[in-house]
């Protein structure tokens, strides 16, 4: 969306008036049922989200606002071209190649681009390295910011209010729920993605992996270890996504 950011609308009060009326027409029936008893204006909008999405897509195609095959290509990108396997390759390369790791920690954008994992929601990457003294974890308390090219779309739990609310005030109980106990003398450092910087955790390389190939190392690296809610286990001991 390089092209979408350049021409913001210049009206004051953008969205101020649009929201209430529009949203009323688009929220699920389950929460809108009471209102509907008094207001039948919106009854033509289907209650089922799948039907509503389909109706909207048809409308947008009919008006020439979207191209159906472009939507197919975007969905294909989400489902098949991005995902935590990409991030795992970045991590494995950093573990295997000290010069790459230095580049990754000093200029993550360029280092990640070397492997081709650029794109939407990966424009401004910062990689933070776990160590025996600091354990990093990532959140977006205000919405759902996440590094798409390297990790794919976020899991539901990452977007949930439960995770987003608690991880800043009580990160150790969150880690505990993920089965991770961090000693009290280790700093837990939480990165709240409030701006357009996207964070990727470089987990510690597990012991017993000396001499393993990058490909074999990448297979050990889990999504959660790159969010910071897990560590990477030695071969044969991995348990988490």
Would you tell me the crossing angle of helices 84-96 and 98-106 to the nearest 10 degrees?
120
Q: Would you say 133 or 207 has its CB closer to another protein? A: 133
Residue 106 C-beta: closest distance to another protein, Å: 12
In order, the DSSP letters of 115-127 are TT---TT-SSEEE
Q: Would you say 18 or 216 has its CB closer to another protein? A: 18
Residue 35 C-beta: closest distance to another protein, Å: 10
Q: Is-catalytic flag, 20?
A: no
Residue 133 C-beta: closest distance to another protein, Å: 9
Identify the sign of the CA torsion 25, 31, 33, 38.
Answer: negative
184 binds another protein (CB under 8 A): yes
Which residue in 47, 129, 189, 238 binds another protein (CB under 8 A)?
189
In order, the DSSP letters of 77-139 are IIIII-SHHHHHHHHHHHHH-HHHHHHHHH-HHHHHHHTT---TT-SSEEEEE--SSEEEEEE
If we measure between CA atoms, which residue out of 151, 7, 137 comes closest to residue 81? 151
58 binds another protein (CB under 8 A): yes
Rounded CA-CA distance 109/95 in Å is: 18
- Alpha carbon separation from 115 to 91, 93, 104, 110, 112 (Å, rounded): 11, 10, 11, 9, 5
Residue 211 C-beta: closest distance to another protein, Å: 31
**What part of residues 95-134 is at the interface with another protein (CB under 8 A)?**
118-124
Which residue in 160, 208, 215, 235 binds another protein (CB under 8 A)?
160
Binding residues with another protein: total (CB under 8 A):
110
Q: Is-catalytic flag, 144?
A: yes
Rounded CA-CA distance 172/135 in Å is: 11
Site string for another protein, 11-50 (x = CB under 8 A): xxxxxx-xxxxxx-xxxx-xxx--------xx-xx---xx
Q: Which of 106, 143, 165, 213 is catalytic?
A: 143
**What part of residues 59-78 is at the interface with another protein (CB under 8 A)?**
59-60, 62-67, 69-75, 77-78
């Amino acid at each position: 969306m390089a092209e979408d950011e350049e021409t913001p609308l210049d009206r004051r009060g953008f969205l101020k008036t649009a929201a209430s009326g529009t949203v009323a027409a688009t929220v699920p029936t389950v929460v809108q049922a009471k209102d509907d008893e008094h207001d039948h204006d919106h009854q033509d909008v289907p209650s089922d989200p799948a039907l509503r999405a389909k109706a909207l897509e048809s409308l947008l195609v009919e008006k020439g606002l979207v191209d159906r095959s472009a939507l197919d290509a975007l969905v294909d990108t989400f489902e098949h071209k991005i995902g935590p396997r990409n991030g795992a390759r970045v991590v494995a390369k950093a573990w295997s190649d000290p010069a790459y790791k230095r580049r990754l920690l000093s200029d993550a954008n360029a280092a990640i681009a070397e492997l081709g994992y650029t794109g939407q929601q990966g424009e401004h990457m910062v990689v933070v390295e776990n160590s025996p003294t600091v354990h990093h974890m990532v959140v977006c308390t205000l919405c759902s910011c996440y590094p798409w090219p390297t990790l794919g779309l976020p899991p539901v739990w990452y977007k949930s209010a439960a995770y987003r609310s608690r991880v800043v005030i009580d990160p150790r109980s969150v880690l505990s729920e993920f089965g991770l106990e961090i000693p009290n003398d280790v700093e837990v450092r939480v990165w709240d993605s409030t701006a357009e910087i996207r964070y990727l955790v470089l987990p510690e390389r597990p012991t017993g992996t000396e001499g393993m190939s990058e490909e074999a190392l990448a297979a050990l690296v889990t999504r959660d270890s790159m969010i910071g809610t897990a560590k990477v286990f030695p071969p044969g001991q991995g348990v988490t996504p």
